[in-house]
Structure 1
């Protein structure tokens, strides 16, 4: 499954209505590490199809959400279960590290390398 592009409104609705855990990539288009993290996030979304919803939230377009969740540096990945943050990863991470963290927290991700 591909990632979902989120807005402030769709972010709130997704967290409220999701039946699966939600991984959100807080990023910005001008951020070099964020651009490098993009393919990793896409790969994680494919690896966790059916187990996880993966969204991308541009912090420039949704500053209130970033402020609410105290996103001080990007890229930041947050995993939400039932609307609550259960995992936070900051900075550029390889796919295997993200999948290992997801597996530890909520047992998702089949192909940890």
Structure 2
């Protein structure tokens, strides 16, 4: 099963800068089992619209069955890891 964490962000977004180090740490630990994608909402509005991203940061955890969980605003590592496990990572 493929588990993906999509991080919707923008360079001008303050809270996104708070979220970044959390995701970078996680990426080191989860690299084997989770695909991490950073999606700049300014450059990829079509993808942001597809996932109905209204505010950032938004993090979407999905697997082969679709979206498992989504988080809006700065989200702590523990919550994200729980969602990754739930998704099958």
More strand by share: 2
Aligned to 1:98: 80
Q: Quick check: which has more Rg, 1 or 2?
A: 1
Q: Which has the higher contact order (CA 8 A, sep 6+)?
A: 2
Question: Partner of 1:23: helix, strand, or coil?
Answer: strand
Deviation, structure 1 residue 47: 1.7
**Structure 1 stretches of 4+ moved >6 Å:** none
Matched, 1:70 2:80: no
Structure 1: gaps spanning 5 or more residues: 1-18, 109-113
1:1-113 equivalences in 2 (<5 Å): 20-82=2-64, 84-103=66-85, 105-108=86-89
Change (3 A) 1:83 1:107: closer
CA deviation vs aligned residue, 1:5-29 (integer Å, no higher than 9, x gap): xxxxxxxxxxxxxx62111100001
TM-score (norm 1): 0.72
Deviation, structure 1 residue 100: 2.2
CA deviation vs aligned residue, 1:52-108 (integer Å, no higher than 9, x gap): 1111000000001101110001001111212721211111012122112222x2243
